[in-house]
Structures are given as structure tokens and as C-alpha cells.
Structure 1
Amino acid sequence: MKIRQATQQDASEIMKLFYETIHTINIRDYSQEQVNAWAPDTMTVDKWVKRQDTKQTFVADHNGKIVGFAEFEPDGHIDCFYTHKDFQGQSVGTQLLDTIVTQATQLQLSRLFVEVSITARPFFEHRGFAIVKPQEVECRGVKLINFVMERYLS
């Protein structure tokens, strides 16, 4: 597996991974109504391409298949961070996070921060992130619980 910068040609596969992971993995911690709001059937590839204009998107590429992706912003914010539903627990997220930490260090950032799902919270806690606060957010009219977390870099 290699971590690389996403290209516009990756947008469709990234969108599919996002949708399937939320509907298969996050459904364990959220209701059907919540996952439908979070990852609706109405998503478009164009919106995913546009996201790449404002964020640095890394993908985990396993033999030509995207098995994870993470979006990183220059202020240290990690936006989307997802591992393919069939590659959970196989170090995909760890390798993506290691890449982000390296990038943040090169940018001389002192802190990374992220809003994580109930599902992703243990992953980030095990990698040095601390909860700043739980929060209730609204997504397409549906309320969800997530956690603001941060990690200081040395």
C-alpha cells in the first residue's frame, strides 16, 4: 500500500468509499436516519472534486484500489478521514495519519485537530488525540454526536 496525493480522477472512488464506509461501519454507532443525512444518495462527484481545491487529500492506494483517504488543511485541521469498509484494522488509517503528521511537521504546525465520529474516537485516542469536547452537530436537518479532538506535536 502506498499513500499518495489524490487526483481529480479519484473523486468518484473516494465518494463511494465515503458512502459505503458510513453506511456499513458507522451504522454501528448511528441510526439509519443519521447515516442517510451524513452520506446521502444525492452526493455528486463534482462536489468531491471541488473539495480537493481547498484541502490536501491523501489516499491509501492498494494495488490501484483506494482503501482510505484523509483530507488535511494547512491550519492543522483533519477533515474527512475514512478507511474502506473491507480494510478496517489493517493499518490504513495509521499510515494516513502518519503522512498527515509528517506534513504538519514540515509546515511547523504545533497542533492537529479533528471532529470525529463515535466510531472513530478510539482510533484517534490510541494515536495521541485528546477530546476537547463532545458536540451535537446538525447535518441536513438531523442531529449527530461527534467529538472535537486535538493532538499537540512535539
Structure 2
Amino acid sequence: MSHKIKIRRATTDDLSEILDLFSGSVKQIGQQDYEPKQIAAWAASVHNQSRWQRAMSDQYFLVAVSNEIIVGFGSLEQEYLDFLYVHQNHQRQGIANLLYKVLEQEAARAGHRQITTDASKTAQGFFIRQGFDVIKENRKQIKGVELTNYRMSKKL
């Protein structure tokens, strides 16, 4: 990575940039594992502004910044890793690793004994490399479209 990545707490001013990153990442990266209608349903969650604002205020919510641009974000709610996304143009640069390590340290600092997450098919390999195990396959409905993801857990 040639440029310096800074990890910091997200602020409400970051929301529109976070939503753009989320939508672009889901649409681009999800293509390998999900059908177009599934990607559209998943990406449509950007419209649930109250969910995003609540996550940003209630969770340990971080952004990764490079050259004043948000290139990734992640969040932790208690022991649950809710979000971990990297900009589609900044994949495979170690950004998810950096975010994940800070989130894991925060979970341990807060006294949690494990981290759980619901990982997409696309992200499952990343979490396995971090030491997570698959607990079960989930099938969830978003806007009438079924998506598969995986409940995963890691002991701390």
C-alpha cells in the first residue's frame, strides 16, 4: 500500500460517503456470488437512513481514510460485527484487515469473549482467514428477494 491509511471514528458528516461506498461495493464485488436482483435488494438498504444513522451513533463505527477519501468502514455492536466494507477500487490492499484488527481489539477491550457476524458469500473467505468458523447458513429476505449469508463466530 503506497498511501497511508488512517482509521478513525465515523461522524455523521461521513454518512453520504459511507452510503456511496456501500452501494458501489455491493454492486461491484457482489457480482461474483449473487444474482442482479439479489444485489439490487442488498444495495437498496442505503435508503434506510434511520438504520444507518442509528448504527453510526450506537455502534463502534470506524472509517478507513486515504488521501481524505473514505476507502472502507466497519462497525461493532457489542460482540457483533455489523459492517465491514472496502471501496471497490481499493480491494486487496489490506484495508479490511486493518479495520478488522481495530474492531477485534475493541471487542476484546470491552470484555467480549467472541465476535459474531453474518458474512456474505463474498466475505466468507476473509472471515475464515481471520479465524472465524461458520456456525450456520442464513437465508434472509430483503424486499422479497432471498439472500444467503453465513453466521460466523470467532473466540477471542
Query: Number of residue pairs matched?
Result: 152
- 2:9, 2:45 → 1: CA distance? 26
Letter paired with 2:106: Q
Letter paired with 2:40: N
- Give the equivalent residue in structure 1 for 2:128: 125
Pick aligned residue for 1:18 from 22, 26, 44: 22
- 2:128, 2:117 → 1: CA distance? 12
1:57/1:150 CA distance change after superposition, 3 Å? same
- Give the equivalent residue in structure 2 for 1:29: 33
The Cα of 1:140 is off from its aligned counterpart by 1.3
- 2:106, 2:45 → 1: CA distance? 33
The Cα of 1:54 is off from its aligned counterpart by 2.1
1:38/1:61 CA distance change after superposition, 3 Å? same
Gaps of 5+ in 2: none
Query: Greater helix percent: which structure?
Result: 2
- 2:140, 2:84 → 1: CA distance? 17
- Give the equivalent residue in structure 2 for 1:71: 75
- 1:42, 1:4 → 2: CA distance? 22
1:1-154 matches, cutoff 5 A: 1-40=5-44, 43=47, 45=49, 47-74=51-78, 76-153=79-156
Tell me the SS of whatever aligns to 2:112.
coil
Letter paired with 1:152: K
Q: Does the Cα contact within 8 Å between 1:15 and 1:45 map onto a contact in 2?
A: no
- 2:46, 2:83 → 1: CA distance? 18
Letter paired with 1:128: G
Root-mean-square deviation (CA, aligned residues, Å) is 1.4
The Cα of 1:31 is off from its aligned counterpart by 0.6
Q: Does the Cα contact within 8 Å between 2:23 and 2:46 map onto a contact in 1?
A: no
TM-score (norm 1): 0.94
The Cα of 1:44 is off from its aligned counterpart by 5.7
The Cα of 1:51 is off from its aligned counterpart by 2.4
The Cα of 1:39 is off from its aligned counterpart by 0.8
TM-score (norm 2): 0.92
The Cα of 1:23 is off from its aligned counterpart by 0.3
The Cα of 1:47 is off from its aligned counterpart by 4.6
1:123/1:42 CA distance change after superposition, 3 Å? closer
Identity fraction in percent: 32
